[in-house]
Structure 1
Amino acid sequence: MSPIVTVGVDGSPESRAAARWAADEARRRAATLDIVFVREVDPHPHPYTTLYDPDKESSWAQTLLREIAAEATESHPGTPVTTRLLSGYAAQLLPEAAADSDLLVLGTRGLGAVAGFFIGSVGLPTVAHLNRPVVLVRSPEQSTAATPVDAGDVIVGLKLNRPADDLLAFAFEAAAGRSARLRVLHTWDLPPAYGVRPIAAPAGAEAELSRERSDALDAALRPWREKYPTVEVVCEAVIGRAAHHLVEAADGASLVVVGRRLRRTPIGARIGAVAHAVMHHATVPVAVVPHD
């Protein structure tokens, strides 16, 4: 089956930016660009909604889909483009629409508000439940991504105590497809006793632990460097909070890649704290990649 990049649109500046990003990504992957508009259906219409004309909205949505498809075809003539107008609940239909896709692209305003019908109860569950990578893209006015978009680094956050082949595969492919440098960021903390007075860290302990982390990071990435010999890789093992360092490193990057563990909790699927914070605060495209 040929690769597919799906993008959800609603006419907002953020969703148009997402459509342009998705078209570029489809071109890089030699994939089909699948453009989806979900027309929300109110299960409990208010009496005053009699002024609402679903036929007019459908007509407007079809026009929007044709317009975005035409822009994508003009920018990337060899990229196949399909469009779909769906009616129902976006939180349910978007994951279903992207079930066979390589990734789903959405527009975002940041700070947890995802554009248009992707706000709150739709956008976050989509990221949390879809077993495919989801990329969140801001409008040009809100973004600090590199210009052109392929000029900046690809940033990926990595934990050394958990295998994350899907995460690293996505990050290396993204860097290779953009001819970009890949910055692999690993954060760590000193053992708790070192932060409790009056116990002091032994002389050189921090430097020794830093070397150990850096060596472990190099070892974890060695097979990936061999698989992608053309990708320049920069490894950084730093003390501190992962979300803070990732958001700081994101400025001027072309893409930030974070992981989301495929796990169920008593309250359902969830997004990890680091991914959640980066989604909220990074001003460049953010890819959330599910992994075991």
Structure 2
Amino acid sequence: MSRHVTVGLDGSLQSDAAAEWAAREAVLREVPLRLVHADEWPVWTADPEAEAGVQRPGVQRLWADKLLAEAAERLRQRHPSLEISTRRLSGRPSTALATEAADADLLVLGSRGLSCVMGFVLGSVGMETITAAEGPVVLVRAPAFPGADQDTPAGSSRDVVVGVDIHQPCDPLLGFAFDEAARRGGRLRALHGWSLPPVVHDALALEAAERDMAPDIARSLGDTLAPWQRKYPSVAVVELTPVGAPSQLLAQSAADADLVVVGRRSRRSRLGAHIGPVTHAVIHHCAAPVAIVAHH
């Protein structure tokens, strides 16, 4: 695998935001950036030469080449030391992007957000790409206000938030999260949300159950993180084990984060690959960039 960051472009504001995030990530990693476009992606920019909304192959190719060239020039102006290349892909978009991602450190895609409540509209291409890609995929939303500078968003930190399931092995997830926190020089907030037994309804009994269970859960999270803390001694870790729905807790904790990291099981069932309900909710409702890391 060659060391580089790949970002998919489709002409939307979201893919522009993804390209800028990917460029900054490539600078952090000290690796080249590759801009790619899959020909079958929807075209968000109106094409006066298209007839009845249908793109002719030649027109589409010219449009794609122009899209990539203009994005590369824009990013070179902002990041003059960054090595940038472009590539136009053909074939089924999700397959082409997943294949391209196999040769990269990570793949970055844009996601359309409707509102803070409704969250992402990721689309079938994005979801299929996530489940097909073996490496990390990062989803980036466009800034809330067009033209806003994403380098230092108001109220943001350099912290990385990672959702941890203490009941499942997740070394690739933690390795990625610690690595990202080390690059940024921020803290790593490791969060495991949990629920009280559903059979307990009395307020005093709930309080007693939480008091009895909380220390063991906190200890388990600490044990899970310990090997990685030894490997990354420079990373300050905040361990969080609140009671509540993991997806909601992650979205709340990530409100001012630089990156949110969640996992998905890489095993496939007869119905295909799944990303899991927590990861699905996080990528639909977190405003911060979300990294999805496959693990067994």
Q: TM-score, normalised by structure 1?
A: 0.88
3-state SS in 1 of match to 2:219: helix
Shift of 1:160: 0.5
Over 3 Å counting, the alpha-carbon distance change for 1:145 and 1:279 in structure 2 is farther
1:130, 1:178 → 2: CA distance? 25
Deviation at 1:87, TM superposition (A): 2.6
1:153 to 130, 152, 159: 159
**5 Å matches for 1:268-283?**
268-283=272-287
Q: Percent identity?
A: 44
Q: Which amino acid aligns with 1:39?
A: D
- The answer to whether residue 30 in structure 2 is matched with residue 30 in structure 1 is yes
Alignment correspondent of 1:86: 89
Tell me the amino acid that sits aligned with residue 253 of structure 1. Answer: A
What secondary structure is seen at the aligned counterpart in 2 of 1:204? helix
Q: How far is the alpha carbon of 1:203 from its aligned partner?
A: 6.9
C-alpha displacement at 1:49, in angstroms?
6.2
Q: Tell me whether 1:171 sits opposite 2:177 in the alignment.
A: yes
- Give matches, 1:34-113, under 5 Å: 34-40=34-40, 52-110=55-113, 111-113=119-121
CA distance in 1, matches of 2:245, 2:232: 29
Distance in 2 separating the partners of 1:122 and 1:38: 11
Q: Does the CA-based 8 Å contact 2:65-2:88 persist in structure 1?
A: yes
Cα distance between partner residues in 2 of 1:29 and 1:50: 40
Q: Answer with 282-291 or 25-34: which moved more.
A: 25-34
Q: CA deviation at 1:147?
A: 5.6
Is 1:290 the counterpart of 2:290? The answer is no
AA matched with 1:232: A
Structure 2 unaligned spans of 5+: 43-50, 114-118
Give the whole-Å Cα distance in 1 for the aligned partners of 2:81 and 2:149.
Answer: 26
TM-score (norm 2): 0.87
User: Aligned partners of 1:192 and 1:140: how far apart in 2?
Assistant: 40
Match of 1:126 in 2: 129
How far, CA to CA, are the matches of 2:103 and 2:124 in structure 1?
A: 23
Whole-angstrom distance in 1 between the partners of 2:80 and 2:52:
41
* Runs of 4+ off more than 4 Å: 48-51, 142-147
Q: CA RMSD in A?
A: 2.5
- Secondary structure, counterpart of 1:193 in structure 2: coil
* Residues paired across the two proteins, number: 280
Bigger shift: 71-80 or 140-149? Answer: 140-149
Q: 3-state SS of the aligned residue for 1:152?
A: coil
State the alpha-carbon separation in 1 of the partners of residues 40 and 206 from structure 2.
61
Distance 1:30 1:200 in 2: 54
Change (3 A) 1:250 1:147: farther
* Paired residues for 1:197-212 under 5 Å: 201=205, 204-212=208-216
Stretch moving more, 199-208 or 147-156: 199-208
Give 3-state SS (helix, strand or coil) of 2:99's partner: helix
SS of 2:62 mapped into structure 1:
helix
Structure 1 position 88, deviation (Å):
2.6
